[in-house]
Structure 1
Amino acid sequence: MDLLLHLDRTLDELDPPRWGDPPADATHLVRKVHALRRVPLRELRPADLRTLVSQQVALPYVVPLAVRLLAEEPLIDAYFYEGDLLLATVNVPATVWTLLPQLGEELRAVVSALPESAHADLPRGAAREIDRFIAGLQRNS
């Protein structure tokens, strides 16, 4: 899949079925995810990507955007803290990396290139999550 061909399209267009309006009593997060599915991919900001990745929405379309961003700035502070998009992305289900093995390898290279000092600034347990991601890729290779 050539992601660049889809940047003007929305997740509702690319990942059927289209989602209707959220229920009237929906949480802020649910309303936000519904709204993000109607935004063209090229307009999704880092915080939007972190939200969609962590909520596991349309991952075959969202993960490539996240990995592309992480290749440029691995510890980007998408919304909560430095490295939040990275941690959300390394925690996607292993089936995503089976579907997108080249992106998995690209992200593994990015993560492996981080200096040890970068791990100290991440939340407790982050190094373990990153190690689990790398080990999972190695098992699937």
Structure 2
Amino acid sequence: MLSEFVDRNSSIEELEGHRWSAPPGDSTTLVHSVYELRKRAIADLTVEDLRRLIAQDIGLHCYFPLLWTSCAKQHHRKRRAAGMTTTCSRRR
């Protein structure tokens, strides 16, 4: 799976190999929070943290495989709970 290629214990900064300097002093709360989220291990990011990073187009390539895997698992759990199969069938 895609998620096997991402070190969940690494931060976006570590995966990108680029550390940002401190945000400007007059930066908004959003900017300060994004700077801090880049330093947090991907495994520790919450859904809200990820939403914020996605909205700001920050580091998506670092955590997208984990998002994709998580969404796929959730989708399959919902299908099983609804009594649906997990395989796709084609109509011909």
Report the TM-score, using the length of structure 1 for normalisation. Answer: 0.47
Identity of aligned residues (%): 31
Deviations 1:75-129, CA, capped at 9 Å, x for gaps: xxxxxxxxxxxxxxxxxxxxxxxxxxxxxxxxxxx8xx8xxxxxxxxxxxxxxxx
> Quick check: which has more Rg, 1 or 2?
2
Cα distance, 1:67 vs structure 2: 2.0
Q: Which runs of 5+ in 2 are unaligned?
A: 80-92
Instruction: String of CA shifts for 1:7-62, please: whole Å, max 9, x gaps.
Output: 11111111132111111111111111000001011101111111111111111112
**In angstroms, what is the RMSD of aligned CA positions?**
2.1
The residue aligned with 1:78 is none
Aligned residue in 2 for 1:32: 33
Structure 1 residue ranges, 4+ long, deviating more than 3 angstroms after superposition? none
Deviation at 1:65, TM superposition (A): 2.4
Secondary structure of the 1:9 match is coil
Q: List runs of 5+ in structure 1 lacking aligned partners.
A: 75-109, 114-141
Q: Quick check: 1:52–1:62 contact (8 Å CA) kept in 2?
A: no
Structure 2 length normalisation: TM-score?
Answer: 0.69
Aligned-partner Cα distance in 1 for 2:38–2:47: 15
Between the two structures, name the one with larger relative contact order (CA 8 Å, sep ≥ 6). 2
Matched pairs, number: 74
Greater helix share, structure number: 1
